[in-house]
Amino acid sequence: MTPPIIYASAGAAVLCLGLFGFLAARHVLRRILALNVMGSGVFMMLVALAARTDPPDPIPHALVLTGIVVAVCVTALALALLTRMCRDEGSALLPEDRDIE
């Protein structure tokens, strides 16, 4: 049970939790958080994968760095869209989820 295996399994678990949270949640902010959690899960698996060699393989680290920055950009845009939608349409749910309140 070396650290890479522990964190890779934890990453897989976090990824699945995030995916389930994304599919199940209806409030968009919760779905955004779920997607971020899912992203973190993916990155955990990737870095755990890289840690299996003694000088850790730098390529996955670069990939994860790029991934984190892209994730924050998409999250920022998503939050701006959410606040704008909430201001215009009064609800923080997507139109198709609203009517089955």
Partner 1 sequence: MTQESWMEGTLAAPLLGAVLALIAGRSAASAIGILTALVGSAASIGLAFAVSRGGSFRYAVGGWGAPLGIDLRVDALAAVMLAMTGVVGLCISVYAVGYFRGKEAEAASSRTNTGPAWLFWPMWLMLWGGMNALYLSGDLFNIYVALEVVGISGIGLIALAGGSAIAAALRYLLLGLAGSLLYIVGVELLYAGYATLDLEQLRQRIDAQPSTWLAAALMTAGLLAKSALFPLHFWLPPAHGHALAPVSAALSALVVKTGFYLLVRLWLDVFAALGTEHVTTFLGALGAAAVLWGGVQALQQERLKMMVAYSTVAQIGYLFMLFPLASMSGSLTGALLLAVSHAMSKAALFMCAGSVLAVYGHDRIQSLQGFGALMPMTAAAFALSSISLIGLPPSGGFAGKWMLLSAALAGGAWWWAAIIVLGGLLTAAYLLRVLAFAFLEPVVASSTRAPRAMELTSLILAGMAIAMNFALLPLHDLLHAGGAR
Partner 2 sequence: MSGDTLVLDLVLAGLLVFLAWRLLTLSDLFKATVLFIVFGVLLSLAWVRLNAPDVALAEAAIGAGVTGALVLDALRRLDARGPADEAQPLRLNLPRLVGALLVMGLGAFLLWSVLSLPPGWRGLSSETAAAMPRSGVVNPVTASLLNFRGYDTLLEIAVLMLAVLGVWTLNAEPMPPAEPAGPILDVLVKALLPPMVVVAGYLLWAGGHAPGGAFQGAAVLAAGGILLHLARPFNVANRGVVRLVIGFGFAVFLLVGLTLATLGGRFLELPERHAGILILMIETAAMISIALTFVVLFVGNARDNAGRDTS
For residues 50-79, which are near partner 2 according to CB under 8 A?
50-53, 55-66, 68-77, 79
Closest separation in Å from C-beta 68 to partner 2:
5
Closest separation in Å from C-beta 96 to partner 2:
14
- The residues in 8-27 that bind partner 2, with binding defined as CB under 8 A, are 8-10, 12-21, 23-25, 27
Tell me, what DSSP letter sits at residue 29? H
Out of partner 2, partner 1, none, which partner does residue 99 contact, by CB within 5 to 8 A per kind? Answer: none
Is residue 29 close enough to count as binding partner 2 by CB under 8 A? yes
Is residue 96 close enough to count as binding partner 2 by CB under 8 A? no
Closest separation in Å from C-beta 1 to partner 1:
18
Closest separation in Å from C-beta 99 to partner 2:
13
Number of CB atoms found within 10 A of residue 42's CB: 18
CA-only gyration radius of the chain, Å: 17
- Alpha carbon 5 to its chain's center: 21
Query: Which residues are CB-contacts of 4 (< 8 A; sequence separation ≥ 6)?
Result: 48, 49, 51, 52
* β partners of residue 27: 93
Given the structure tokens 């890479």, which residue do they identify? 4
